[in-house]
Amino acid sequence: MKKNLITSVLMTIATTILLGIIYPLIVTGIAQVLFPKQANGQLIHQDGKIVGSSIIGQGFSGSAYFHSRPSAAGNGYDAANSNGSQLGPTNQKLIDRVKGDVATAQADHPGAEVPIDLVTASASGIDPHITPAAAEFQLSRIAKERGTSVDRLRALVAKHTEGRQLGFLGEPRVNVLELNLELDQQFPISKQARVQ
C-alpha cells in the first residue's frame, strides 16, 4: 500500500510538471514563434494605442459608422461574458427587440428587407463581422453622413470583405472594426459627430 501511495504521489507530481508547466510553455513558445499575431489576440493598434481586436466585436452606434451585430454578451460586447441571448425564437422579449431593431434599421430604408445579422446576435455575442449585405444596407446612411458617394464606400467594403476560409468554410464577411477604422482615415468626420 505504501509503495502504491508513493508511486501515485510521484506520478501526480511528474504529470503536473509535464502537462501543467512544460507542455503549456512549449505550446506557447511555438505559437509565439509561428503565429505571434494570433497568439496575442490579433490586436489592432492605431496611433500607438490598442483600439480593439480583429476577432472581438465592438459596438458602433453613430450614424456615420457601420453598425455591428447586436450583442447579448453581458451588457453588450463584453468579451469576459461571451454568450448568446439564450432566448428562444418564440420569446416575446426577443420578438419585441428584433421588431424594434428592424424599425430602427428601416428608418433610412422604409419597407426594405433588413439583413438578419443587423437585428440578431451571434452565438458568442461578440461576433466582429457582418455580412456584405448588412454593410451594403448601411451604405446610403454613411455616405450621407460622411459626404461621399455610395460607390466609394462600396469599394471600401469590397476591400474589407473576406472570402470563405479555405474557399469553402463559412460565408463572406466584413470586419466592422477594421472597416470603420479605414472609414475614418479615408472619409474623416468631425470629433463631435464621432462621439454620437
pTM of the model: 0.79
pLDDT tens, the chain, 196 aa long: 888 999 999 999 999 999 999 999 999 999 999 999 988 889 999 888 999 988 888 988 889 999 999 888 777 788 777 877 788 889 898 899 899 989 988 888 888 899 999 998 888 888 899 999 999 999 999 999 999 999 999 999 999 999 998 889 989 999 999 999 999 999 998 554 444 4
In tens, the pLDDT along 17-49 reads: 999 999 999 999 999 999 999 888 899 998 889
Assign 3-class secondary structure to the chain.
CHHHHHHHHHHHHHHHHHHHHHHHHHHHHHHHHHCHHHHCCCEEEECCEEEEECCECCCCCCCCCCCCCCCCCCCCCCHHHCCCCCCCCCCHHHHHHHHHHHHHHCCCCCCCCCCHHHCCCCCCCCCCEECHHHHHHHHHHHHHHHCCCHHHHHHHHHHCEECCECCCECCCEEEHHHHHHHHHHHCCCCHHHHHC
